[in-house]
Structure 1
Amino acid sequence: MATVELRFSAQPEHVRTARLVAAAVARRAGVDEAVLDEVRLAVGEACSRAVGLHRSHGITAPVRVVLIEGEKAFSIEVGDEVPAAGGDAGNAKASPGDLQESDAEGEDEMGLAVISGLVDDVQVTADDDGGVIRMSWPTASAVAPARS
């Protein structure tokens, strides 16, 4: 199993590079050519979401992208360092910063919906260390027809 790890500063201009690297590694792993656009779009959406979360929370740590070539599947993990929300959900008083966070959460939900529409196998997890979107696609060896 081969793994490629990419880390980039949370700047929107780096998302394109992550998409290109993901597509190249997916192609090498044996992901069907017809699915490569979905891989590119899903990675772009996941990376844009991570960049937005880092920027809106003032986090300077890099965004992590891990590309994993398995025997039957190609997987991508996009990780951010934004701790899972909690604690002040009971705060009833809204400030202008809260309105910005509300807009960011709306964009976050839209991004996750787009990813879910593009990828059949997707998992989103978050804890105190940050969040991870895991996506996977079958490789050609996993979907090759049996010969008789």
Structure 2
Amino acid sequence: MPTVELRFSAQPEHVRTARLVAAAVARRAGVDEAVLDEVRLAVGEACSRAVGLHRSHAITAPVTVVLTEEEKSFSIEVGDNVPGPGSGTSSLGATGSGPGEPEADSEDDMGLAVISGLVDDMEVRSGADGEVIRMTWPTMSAVALS
């Protein structure tokens, strides 16, 4: 069950709020203080990417951010509503840019590469209803048990 769910219009100024909320909820969930900057940066990158995709495809639906506290982990899912080329899962998934948009594709791939450099456990699901980037971090309770 989500701890917090955010929905915001695809405006760049809302990305900062998503980063702040993600860091606060991650701290409360027990994510190590040393990792909170990575959480902020990864969420900022994922949200900026979703905002850019929404704006470039003229999508008016909100960007969604679901923050979930589990027993031994904390996860964040950032979803856009840009229909993908198909459905599936990958570590660096494909984006939904159309033909003749190689620059948009490379920017999207760069964003995913940045996120994967910040997050050890990342999954990208793409389908007809959009793409979701799921990022997971261990909580201190998981570290204490290992």
TM-score by length of 1: 0.87
Residues 125, 133 of structure 2: 8 Å contact kept: yes
How far the C-alpha of 1:77 sits from its partner, in A, is 0.2
Paired residue for 1:123?
123
CA distance in 2, matches of 1:8, 1:48: 12
CA distance in 2, matches of 1:98, 1:126: 18
* Matching of residue 23 in structure 1 with residue 23 in structure 2: yes
| Higher CA-based Rg | 1
Residues 2, 66 of structure 2: 8 Å contact kept: no
CA distance in 2, matches of 1:17, 1:140: 25
CA distance in 1, matches of 2:129, 2:2: 25
Residues 2, 70 of structure 1: 8 Å contact kept: no
Q: Paired residues, what number? A: 135
Paired residue for 2:95?
none
3-state DSSP of counterpart to 1:26? helix
Paired residue for 1:42?
42
3-state DSSP of counterpart to 1:144? helix
Displaced runs of 4+ in structure 1, greater than 6 A? Answer: none
Paired residue for 2:92?
none
* Runs (5+) with no aligned partner, structure 1: 87-96
Paired residue for 2:14?
14
Q: Deviations over 1:89-144 (max 9, x none)?
A: xxxxxxxx854x22111110000000000000000010000000000000000001
Residues 46, 115 of structure 2: 8 Å contact kept: yes
Paired residue for 2:73?
73
Computed over aligned residues only, the root mean square deviation of the Cα atoms, in angstroms, reads: 1.5
